[in-house]
Amino acid sequence: MKKQVHHKTFFIINPTAGGKNISAYWNNTLLTPIKKQFPKSDFAFTQKVGHASLLTAKALKEGYKRIICVGGDGTLNEVINGFFKNNKPINPRAALGIIPSGSGGDFVRSLGIKHDIIKALRVIKKDRTKKIDVGHVSFKNKNIKPRLFINIAEAGLGAIVMTHVNNKNRKLPALYRYLSGTLQGFANHKNIPVEITTPPRPCDPATPRPQKTNLTNLVIANGQYFGRGMRPAPKAKLDDGLFDVIVIKDLNWLKFLSHFPEIYKQRKKIASQFFQTFQTAKITIKPLSKSDTVLSELDGENYGKGEMSFEILPKALKIIF
């Protein structure tokens, strides 16, 4: 009989993920069975923005082989950034596990992990792993630090929408926050002239040359889902070394509403003058006017703005699925 190996496991818990406080549930209900299933385990609650990154890096340096993120996509983004230093894993042998407890939980849909703590624990217990890609963004403005993302990044309207969503009370229903944030985001939105550049891929004629476009939104997808189950990139793979990119251009308010299902619930290839889809390992977006700026969001959290470059880090992270 094969002897079971107990890896040192560290749980990082956002106690307010999804607008609820799970700390009491964790301490009173989950902690005893978790200690039984994972005897070499410890945990910590996050206390502020950015704390999950610090906890992750510290745990990895202390020799923990499994880091388990208990929270939403924003907490997950922080944990991912704690896994790396200068785009290299702090411990290449360490694996990431996820227990979704946030309001969105979109990334785990691409992994097939259910939004259920008990079922997610069973997945972690099996300890089945694979290596997946991670996204990296850097900015021309060197005062904005580069950052990693694991699921989806946006530049343009999507980032404006998330600004409104993230500013709302987290105790409000998530669907209400997303829908009302979308309406508010487009209310004062204007398309921005930009230049989009990608490296040439001779084998893929769909990859565009440098192009100038009137940008509504740019979606850079590693995973398939975002925005509580919206699926803009149904063919995206987490381990193919490529982003699935959707360029949305020249849309006004009425056109946006009429194309909304087509944008976010892709079931077939988009055939429209307002959309362009392709794959690439790197993409740069540059506003053409100094008076215009482009906002970004990474895994549902607002980040930097201005000229920015996105690059894939192929199979950089070991994940439990």
Domains and CATH numbers, the chain: 9-127 (3.40.50.10330), 135-315 (2.60.200.40)
Cα dihedral 190, 175, 264, 280 sign? positive
CA distance 133 to 109: 16
Whether the pLDDT of residue 104 is over 50: the answer is yes
Instruction: Supply the pLDDT for residue 316.
Output: 98
Q: Rounded to whole angstroms, how far apart are CA atoms 279 and 207?
A: 7
In terms of pLDDT, which residue wins out, 301 or 258?
301
- pLDDT number for residue 229: 81
Q: What is the pLDDT of residue 271?
A: 56
Q: State the pLDDT confidence band at 6, using cuts at 50, 70 and 90.
A: low
pLDDT score at 205: 65
Q: What is the pLDDT of residue 266?
A: 59
Is residue 2 over pLDDT 70? no
Mean pLDDT computed over every residue of the chain: 91
Locate 92 and state its tokens. Answer: 């290449």
Q: Is 223 left (phi over 0), alpha (psi -120 to 50) or beta?
A: beta
Query: What mean pLDDT is predicted for residues 171-188?
Result: 85
Largest CA distance in the chain: 68
Q: For residue 78, what pLDDT is reported?
A: 98
Residue 292 has what DSSP assignment?
A: -
Residue type, 106: D
| Burial class of residue 56 (count of CB atoms within 10 Å of its CB; 0-12, 13-18, 19+) | buried
What pTM value is reported for the model? 0.92
In this prediction, residue 178 carries a pLDDT of: 84
Average pLDDT value for residue range 165-171: 88
Residues 79-86 have a mean pLDDT of: 98
With a cut of 90, say whether residue 256 has pLDDT above it: no
Beta bridge partners of residue 155, listed in sequence order: 218, 296
The Cα angle at residue 127 between residues 125 and 130, in degrees rounded to 5: 150
Of 43-47, 198-202, 223-227, 235-239, where does mean pLDDT reach its minimum?
198-202
What was the pLDDT predicted at 20?
76
Higher pLDDT, 135 or 230: 135
Mean pLDDT, residues 48-54: 97
